Amino acid sequence: MPLIEFIDFSFKYLGADSLALRKVNLNISDGEYVVITGPSGCGKTTLCRAINGLVPQFHRGYIAGNVTVDGKNTRAHNVADFAPIAGLVFQQPENQLVTLNVEREIAFGPENLGVEPTEIRRRVDELIDMLDLEHLREKHPHEMSGGEQQRVAIAATLALKPKVLVADEPTSNLDPQSAETILDLIADLNRRDLTVVLVEHRLDLVSKDASRVVLMDQGCIVADGEPRDVLSMDICQEIGVGIPKATQLYKRLKQRGFNLDKVPLTGAELAILVQEAKQR
Amino acid sequence: MILLEDVHFAYDGLYTALRGVSLQIDECERIAIVGSNGAGKTTLVKHLNGLLRPDQGRVILDGVDTKHFSVAELAREIGLVMQNPDHQLFLDSVEREVLFSLENLGYSKEESKARCNRTLNNLGLEGLSERSPFTLSGGERKRVALASVLATEPRILSLDEPTIGQDARQKENLAKMLGELNEKGKAVIVVTHDIEFVIENFPRTIAMANGRIIADGPTNSVLSNDDVLERCSLTRPQLTETARCLHKVFPEVTERLTLIDDLEAVVVKVLGGG
């Protein structure tokens, strides 16, 4: 059974004129790294909220179809039931951090779920070590940079031992180097078997690590597959999704009759493919 | 048009954000300000419209020290779109949000309405004019904040991180609109980490680190400098990376910053076509 299963799921926010999600069908299995992308307002954030039950339990509205996460239907369980299953990380870490130092922040979630204090202590130390937060241990979140705050928000989310990390544009307020650090961390967590669902516009930064790209438009899923396959489809440009420049150049070369061996996702890959084509 | 002379600023007199910044902005300029978080970029643009006042040094508009002007007076000349739209939006419909700034600046009802409609169309917000900004997506709210300032067509437009949460199409629309305002003689200043947006749209780049300007000049030379990229926490754009890797094997490929059209032509040549 897939970890996350959307079956003909539609949702309309209370007071909105149109559906935010339209008959979405989506299966995500254990261990996948799924990037969700699409034009602004296409339903990406609503899809994230539907994974941990915020839709429909907190954000109310019209609902059709079903979402099942780890065997639990989101219609039948409250948000707290999904907290140890799906951990959400948002765009603005300061909207998510609630305590005065890093240790307390990480402990806050498990404390609320009634986890044993010795186990909480163990998780805090483990996460501080894993996410390289030792130097921030005693710091107030407001004394940290955006990238540091986001690392803390991820640590606090992981303290609940979720089966899937759902991150909604976690790097869009960060500078490119901090963004790269966070995305490397997420890719590393995925290699340690954590399932990842990541919403992102900047596909040049994430597509090399993802196992799958899901493209959305106007509340529907319009493409779903391997990053190289999805990003080389014409539909990306048609709906206004920015594909990596290396992939864009690959497509232009193809139009002019120069076929490279595969679709590149990074600048270095493109350079190698051009060299190989030249040697042929 | 606007001149900063050795501007120093510290928040609460304690947290130093600017340590002697001097620069000149002329009419019709398109300038990008880059730098890592905390470099002083936002503090700098807040000095342009008087939201912050220098502790030391001067900000001069058309030859007059801006300390003689109120923020309201400066708002007629200099528009600022803040990074977080939620710090700016407060009305219950997109249309009212945009009309508010126009009517405050004294435009007639008809003129305000016409400008509002035009701006909403240009930014792809036409279907949302009756919606409350707080029911919109992050990217849409950002565009509403942009619309409320762009509609007033100030002489100097400064935008703090305008491309956050925007997809490729919205970025193109924004670039087109900024280009049109620029052609009407307005100066456009953006603070951004979006290096591709800078390369494609802004001929001049100012790089900041630790409250100082560390480079100011043509974009393609400022952003080809690895030291500047490193100190500004920027990463090399994919096409520059491609050009660099290719340069090692094909010396005829220059390793400088490059646009996709140029690199395409070069690669076609390398592959023995066109």
Give the mean pLDDT of B264-270. 91
Per-residue pLDDT tens digits for A76-88:
999 999 999 999 9
Do residue B233 and residue A267 have CB atoms under 8 angstroms apart?
A: no
Rounded to a whole number of angstroms, the distance from the CA of A254 to the nearest CA of chain B is: 11
Q: What is the total count of domains within chain A?
A: 1
- Any A CB within 8 A of B20 CB: no
Which of A:149-178 have CB within 8 Å of B?
169, 172-178
In a domain, A265, yes or no: no
In the prediction, which pLDDT does A44 show? 94
A255 touching chain B per CB within 8 A: no
Q: What is the domain range of residue A135?
A: 4-227
Please judge whether A240 and B170 are an interchain contact, meaning their C-beta atoms are less than 8 angstroms apart. yes
Burial B89-121 (b: 16+ CB within 10 A, else e): beeeebbbbbbebbbebebeeeebbebbeebbe
CA distances from A271 to A209, A243, A263, A278, B196 (A): 19, 17, 12, 11, 19
Listed in sequence order, the DSSP H helices in A211-258 are 227-231, 235-239, 245-255
Domains of chain B: 1-77+154-235 (3.40.50.300), 89-153 (no CATH), 236-274 (no CATH)
Q: Whole-angstrom distance between the N-terminal and C-terminal Cα of chain A?
A: 46
Distances (CA, A) of A48 to A61, A215, B58, B111, B212: 16, 14, 48, 41, 40
pLDDT of residue A245: 94
Q: What is the 3-state secondary structure (H, E, C) of B79-129?
A: EEECCCHHHCCCCCCHHHHHHHHHHHCCCCHHHHHHHHHHHHHHCCCHHHC
List pLDDT tens digits, range B127-177: 899 998 888 888 888 889 989 999 998 999 999 999 987 888 888 888 998
Min Cα distance A117 → chain B (Å) is 36
Q: Which amino acid is at B133?
A: P
CB contact under 8 A, A145 and B246: no
Residue of chain B minimizing CA distance to A277:
B271
In angstroms, the CA A181 to CA A131 distance is 11
Smallest Cα distance from B237 to chain A, Å: 8
Both tokens assigned to A49: 């909220």
CB of B173 within 8 Å of a chain A CB? The answer is: no
* Residue at A51 is within a domain: yes
User: Domain for residue A245, yes or no?
Assistant: no
With residue B75 as reference, give the H or E element that holds it: helix B71-75
Residue B71: both structure tokens together: 């923020």
The C-alpha of B50 sits at a distance from chain A's nearest C-alpha, in angstroms, of 25
Q: How far apart are the C-alpha atoms of A93 and B251, rounded to whole Å?
A: 45
Mean pLDDT of B12-41: 92
Is there a contact between A242 and B242 if contact means CB atoms under 8 Å apart? no
Cβ contact, residue pair B171, A249, below 8 Å: no
Instruction: Give me the pLDDT at residue B90, please.
Output: 87
Output the average pLDDT for chain B: 91
Residue A146's Cβ-side half-sphere holds a number of Cα atoms within 13 Å equal to 19
- pLDDT per residue as tens digits for the range A199-209: 998 899 999 99
A86 within domain boundaries:
yes
Contact of B238 with chain A, judged by CB distance below 8 Å, is answered with yes
Instruction: Output the domain CATH number for residue A108.
Output: 3.40.50.300
Residues B71, A212 contacting (CB under 8 angstroms): no
Q: Average pLDDT of chain A?
A: 92
pLDDT in tens, A120-171: 999 999 999 988 899 888 888 777 888 888 889 999 999 999 999 999 999 8
Residue A250 lies in a domain: no
Out of A41, A245, A252, the one facing B237 most closely (by C-beta) is A245
pLDDT at B105 over 90: no
Q: Which residues of A touch B83 (CB under 8 A)?
A: 173
CA B96 to CA A211: how far, in whole Å? 44
Q: What is the pLDDT of residue B104?
A: 87
- Closest by alpha carbon to A51, among A42, A41, A59, A39? A59
> Tokens in use for A53?
């039950």
The predicted structure's pLDDT at residue A72: 96
Quote the pLDDT of residue B137: 82
Q: Which helix (H) or strand (E) holds A23?
A: strand A21-28
How does residue B274 score in pLDDT terms, banded at 50, 70 and 90?
low
B230 has a pLDDT exceeding 90? yes
Q: What percent of chain B is modeled with pLDDT above 90?
A: 63
Question: How far B61 CA lies from chain A's nearest CA (Å)?
Answer: 31
Question: Residue B135 has what DSSP assignment?
Answer: G
Identity at A159, one-letter amino acid code: A
pLDDT, position A40: 82
* Tokens describing residue A109: 């979630």
Query: In this model, does residue B89 exceed pLDDT 60?
Result: yes
Where residue B131 falls (left for φ over 0; alpha for ψ -120 to 50; beta otherwise) is beta
48-87 in A: which are within 8 Å (CB) of B?
none
Q: Give the predicted TM-score (pTM) of the model.
A: 0.86
**Is residue A241, in this structure, part of any structural domain at all?**
no
Helices (H), chain A: 44-51, 54-57, 79-82, 102-112, 117-130, 146-158, 176-191, 203-206, 227-231, 235-239, 245-255, 267-279
Tell me if chain A has a CB within 8 Å of the CB of B88.
no
Q: Chain B residues with CB inside 8 Å of A38's CB?
A: 167
Is the pLDDT reported for residue A13 higher than 90? yes
* Residue A201 maps to a domain: yes
Please give the average per-residue pLDDT across B79-101, as a whole number.
89
Q: What is the pLDDT of residue A229?
A: 96
**Could you tell me the CA-to-CA distances from A85 to A33, A97, A98 in Å, in that order?**
16, 19, 21
pLDDT bucket at B56, cuts 50 / 70 / 90: very high
Confidence of residue B13 (pLDDT cuts 50, 70, 90): confident
CA angle at residue A141 from A135 to A145, to 5 degrees? 75
For chain A, percent of residues with pLDDT exceeding 70:
100
Peptide bond into B162 cis (omega under 30): no
Give the mean pLDDT of B28-50.
Answer: 92
- Rounded mean pLDDT, A244-260: 94
Q: Let me know if residue A35 belongs to a domain.
A: yes
